[in-house]
Copies of this chain bind each other. A is one copy, B any other.
């Protein structure tokens, strides 16, 4: 049912008072460049997700049904983080520190009631981190995607694929730093250029497609 030639690459709309969201700029650019270069034999379909708990998973699952991708990579903004962080796990919890773009702010609700506590990303997260570092791009594994819409989407897509018996469709989440122009409003915050992020995600997609078995790499955290 899935299409081995299709990648679904999601980014978010801006939220929290920002004028833009690097995750969407990156998704859009990667899709455009892929189209222009007819790179490889796969198509990158960029889809923008609303930063709304009530609609994010609806838009995402509709996109999956439409595009039948073999790979789903969702991108999000992690303002303040200094590097590309590849998420390890999505948890069944919504605990919003701020209201979403529709004004909703769930506290300690389940993403999916009575479902599993968590799902691990099915991407080769260590291989992605290693390949980025090999290209001089700071990258790490993150053990928490937070408890906001990003985590909801990560948990949601993994739970959806498990429930739909689409275990051959790989899915995961990568968090991006602020763009330099965003860091202006967050004194002391790290940032990363759009060019570097686009390069990172193009590389990450390629590795995600090509890697069958993840590599062994020390990238854990003591706490």
Contacts and interface: CB of A to CB of B under 8 A. Distances in A.
Interface of A: 16, 76-79, 81-83, 88-89, 91, 93-98, 105, 107-108, 116-120, 126, 133, 136-138, 140-141, 143-148, 150-151, 175, 179-181, 183-184, 187-193, 195-196, 214, 216-223
Nearest to A221: B146
Contact of A147 (B93, B191, B220): B220
Contacts of A118: 89, 91, 116-118
Contacts of A107: 216-218, 220
A175 B108 contact: no
Nearest to A141: B95
Nearest to A177: B190
- Which of A78, A107, A146, A190 counts the most B-chain CB atoms under 10 A from its CB? A190
A180 B200 CA distance: 12
Given A88-B147, A97-B220, A105-B218, 7 more contacts: A93-B120, A95-B221, A98-B222, A116-B117, A116-B118, A117-B117, A146-B223
B91 A138 contact: no
A185 to B, nearest CB: 10
A218 B82 contact: no
A120 B120 contact: no
Contacts of A144: 143-144, 221, 223
A190 B191 contact: yes
Contact of A180 (B78, B136, B183): B136
A192 B82 CA distance: 10
